[in-house]
């Protein structure tokens, strides 16, 4: 499996070099591979399968280094505010509250106020049991996911789709603590600390970088499942608590 993945990534990297694509485009592929590893290992663990866990971190970081050497930093397709390896970043966050909040932002596209950490400290917006809607099918992929509802920008309620593992982690957390909430600056500092430890820190990324990861990956996922460019923009905008489809370009354009 590792050899097949390496061959695939080599082909991708060579293609991007020839076609003058950006490092960020390659980083989106590497990020998606990390997400695949997470999903497979969760499935194996949940069903107690006698299968060795998938390990792609060394492979991903190797190709990340190659992409830095062979590809231009920016492009007209994706901006550079997203994290090169958000899965590794989140794994480095030691505080379980902050780690859960980061997982929700990355997987579901929630804002900080949506995960109970509003930047305006005078506002209180904890994520409670009311936000746990159900498990159901992802409207784009058809996969079984958890649905989390949050009140965000302008009082708009948005349904976000996250992995079952993260959904059940959130449910267990709320059952134990009644709500998910933290202080904004402490949360952002935890993300920045993890970013420094994984070599991904850049001024201005912070928590919003995870939304950029979500939007870029979700847009590509929509397109790969048959949605048109405009439909993919609209779906991604809705899931990031926006009304206008062009808002997605804030996250995907350089």
Digit-coded pLDDT (tens) for 227-249: 888 888 889 999 988 766 555 66
Instruction: Band the pLDDT of 253: cuts 50, 70, 90.
Output: low
**Can you tell me the distance from the alpha carbon of 154 to that of 108, in angstroms, rounded to the nearest whole number?**
18
Cα–Cα distance, 107 to 104 (Å, whole number): 5
pLDDT on residue 226? 93
Q: pLDDT value at position 117?
A: 95
pLDDT at 153 (0 to 100): 72
| Cα distance between residue 138 and residue 148, in whole Å | 12
What pLDDT score was predicted for residue 73? Answer: 65
The answer to whether the CB of 73 falls within 8 A of the CB of 84 is no
Range with the poorest average pLDDT among 21-25, 61-65, 115-119, 172-176: 21-25
Cα 209 from Cα 89, distance rounded (Å): 11
- Mean pLDDT value across the chain: 88
Rounded to two decimals, the pTM is 0.70
Burial class, 234, CB count within 10 angstroms (exposed 0-12 / middle 13-18 / buried 19+) = buried
DSSP code at position 50: S
Three-class SS of residue 127? strand
Q: What distance in Å separates the CA atoms of residue 81 and residue 7, rounded to the nearest whole number?
A: 28
Quick one: average pLDDT of 203-216? 91
pLDDT tens figures, 93-117 = 999 999 999 999 999 999 999 999 9
**DSSP codes joined into one string, 65-78:** HHHHHHSBS--SS-
Which pLDDT belongs to residue 217? 92
pLDDT attached to residue 11? 92
> Tens digit of pLDDT for each residue in 38-57?
788 888 888 899 989 999 88
pLDDT surpassing 50 at residue 78? no
């Amino acid at each position: 499996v590792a050899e097949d993945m390496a061959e695939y990534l080599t082909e991708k990297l060579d293609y991007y070099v020839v076609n003058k694509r950006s490092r960020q485009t390659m980083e989106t592929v590497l990020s998606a591979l990390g997400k695949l590893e997470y999903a497979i290992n969760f499935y194996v663990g949940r069903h107690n399968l006698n299968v060795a866990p998938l390990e792609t971190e060394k492979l991903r970081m190797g190709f990340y280094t190659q992409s830095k050497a062979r590809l231009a930093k920016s492009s007209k397709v994706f901006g550079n505010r997203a994290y090169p390896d958000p899965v590794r970043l989140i794994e480095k966050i030691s505080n379980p509250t902050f780690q859960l909040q980061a997982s929700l932002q990355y997987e579901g596209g929630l804002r900080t106020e949506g995960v109970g950490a509003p930047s305006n400290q005078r506002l209180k917006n904890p994520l409670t049991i009311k936000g746990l809607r159900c498990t159901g099918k992802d409207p784009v992929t058809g996969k079984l996911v958890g649905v989390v509802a949050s009140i965000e920008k302008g009082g708009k309620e948005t349904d976000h789709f996250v992995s079952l593992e993260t959904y059940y982690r959130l449910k267990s957390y709320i059952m134990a603590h009644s709500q998910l909430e933290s202080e904004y600056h402490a949360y952002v500092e935890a993300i920045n600390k993890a970013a420094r430890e994984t070599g991904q820190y850049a001024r201005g990324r912070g928590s919003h970088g995870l939304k950029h990861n979500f939007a870029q990956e979700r847009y590509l996922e929509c397109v790969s499942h048959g949605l048109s460019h405009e439909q993919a923009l609209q779906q991604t905008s809705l899931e990031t608590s926006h009304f206008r489809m062009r808002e997605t370009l804030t996250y995907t354009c350089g």
